């Protein structure tokens, strides 16, 4: 999920209601607070401007790409995120201040943005060849996850002495979701963001049936806690030629263009272009600068 989209629904609703008229929002012993008063107070805050910005962008994108983003696509994305977070899904929503409905709205926005990126970013064969250098097909692997390097090494020693990977996983792995399933994990490729780069790098070096001969270290980016992996390659498809994977390569390029962690210059350029073509007019002079980060940016970043 892209952080810039995570606007609490309560704030979005409040800002929307605040612009609706002069009804009373709250009463106190010192008098009442009307929607107009609330709107006047909210509109110049950074949060208020951010919400309006999101509302405008969504309106523009829904008009142009809404028919390309079905409820089925949103549900598929939702189920993927839910599976990715597993038992911590509810706590993730709570930390973000979101409900399941809010998450679906956010995922829909992401899908609308991707349609805009697909429409506005032109990909050449040179781009595809460049992407292919780092491209890896989806691989099937099994893992043993331990809390110490010594335990991971003990698992490797057992494997070297003929213990099956499934038995070693049962004995050593701390991952309750995989240890009794032979250590099998969901497939992943080079662009899978839910798998740490160190894990992917080690896995892609393996051939079918091989396992890592040394523990692979994975550091939790949030807590700094280290885990130690033993990885076995179950199925590694042949990479083939770049011409065999044009659509998959395009999808990866588009997803990279959607990533805001690397500066988001392409995405910002795409939004700028869509807003320019969306005939947006700000009627409140106090909010004339609400889209300045996009309207003052050149669209030259779009390929």
d(CA 141, CA 159): 16
One domain, residues 224 and 272? no
CATH number at residue 231: 3.10.50.40
Highest mean pLDDT among 35-44, 51-60, 204-213, 250-259: 204-213
Asked if residue 39 has pLDDT above 50, the reply is yes
Per-residue confidence at 262, pLDDT binned at 50, 70, 90?
low
Please give the model's pTM, rounded to 2 decimal places: 0.75
Give the count of domains, the chain: 2
Residue 254 lies in a domain: no
- 196 to 33, 53, 280, 301: CA distances (angstroms): 50, 33, 41, 28
Residue 131 lies in a domain: no
Of 91-95, 136-140, 182-186, least confident by mean pLDDT is 91-95
Asked if residue 180 has pLDDT above 70, the reply is yes
Average pLDDT over residues 193-198: 89
One domain, residues 182 and 283? no
Number of Cβ within 10 Å of residue 114's Cβ equals: 21
One domain, residues 156 and 203? yes
CB-CB contact of 80 with 37 (8 Å): no
CB-CB contact of 230 with 215 (8 Å): yes
Residue 249 lies in a domain: no
d(CA 122, CA 77): 25
Average pLDDT over residues 181-203: 93
Asked if residue 36 has pLDDT above 90, the reply is no
Asked if residue 10 has pLDDT above 50, the reply is no
**Res 21: pLDDT:** 60
Convert 41-65 to b/e letters by CB count within 10 Å (16 or more is b).
Answer: ebbeeeebbbbbbbbbbbebbeeeb
d(CA 203, CA 230): 10
Residue 251 lies in a domain: no
% residues pLDDT > 90 (the chain): 67
One domain, residues 284 and 223? no
Q: What residues make up the domain containing 163?
A: 136-235
- Please write down the long-range contacts of 124-129, taking CB distance under 8 Å and 24 or more positions apart: 124/303, 127/253, 127/303, 128/242, 128/246, 128/249, 128/250, 128/253, 129/242
The residue ranking higher by pLDDT, 146 or 19, is 146
Q: What mean pLDDT, rounded, does the chain reach?
A: 88
Residue 197 lies in a domain: yes
One domain, residues 108 and 160? no
One domain, residues 10 and 97? yes
Average pLDDT over residues 82-100: 88
One domain, residues 74 and 174? no
């Amino acid at each position: 999920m892209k952080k810039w989209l995570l606007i609490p629904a309560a704030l979005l609703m409040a800002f929307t209601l605040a612009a609706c008229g002069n009804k009373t929002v709250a009463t106190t012993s010192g008098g009442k607070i009307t929607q107009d008063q609330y709107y006047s107070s909210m509109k110049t805050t950074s949060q208020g401007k951010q919400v309006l910005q999101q509302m405008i962008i969504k309106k523009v994108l829904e008009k142009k790409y809404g028919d390309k983003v079905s409820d089925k696509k949103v549900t598929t994305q939702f189920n993927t995120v839910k599976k990715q977070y597993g038992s911590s899904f509810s706590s993730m929503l709570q930390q973000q201040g979101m409900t399941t409905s809010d998450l679906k709205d956010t995922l829909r926005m992401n899908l609308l943005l991707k349609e805009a990126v697909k429409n506005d970013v032109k990909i050449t064969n040179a781009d595809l060849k460049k992407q292919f250098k780092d491209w890896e097909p989806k691989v099937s692997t099994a893992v043993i996850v331990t809390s110490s390097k010594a335990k991971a090494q003990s698992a490797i020693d057992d494997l070297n002495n003929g213990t099956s990977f499934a038995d070693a996983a049962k004995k050593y792995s701390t991952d309750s979701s995989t240890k009794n399933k032979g250590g099998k994990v969901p497939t992943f490729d080079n662009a899978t963001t839910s798998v740490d780069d160190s894990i992917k790098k080690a896995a892609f070096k393996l051939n079918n049936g091989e396992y890592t001969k040394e523990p692979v270290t994975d550091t939790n980016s949030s807590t700094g806690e280290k885990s130690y992996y033993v990885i076995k390659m179950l199925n590694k498809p042949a990479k083939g030629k770049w011409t065999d994977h044009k659509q998959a390569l395009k999808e990866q390029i588009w997803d990279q263009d959607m990533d805001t962690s690397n500066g988001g210059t392409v995405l910002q350029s795409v939004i700028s272009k869509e807003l320019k073509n969306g005939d947006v007019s700000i009627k409140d002079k106090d909010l004339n600068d609400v889209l300045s980060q996009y309207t003052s940016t050149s669209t030259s970043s779009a390929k």
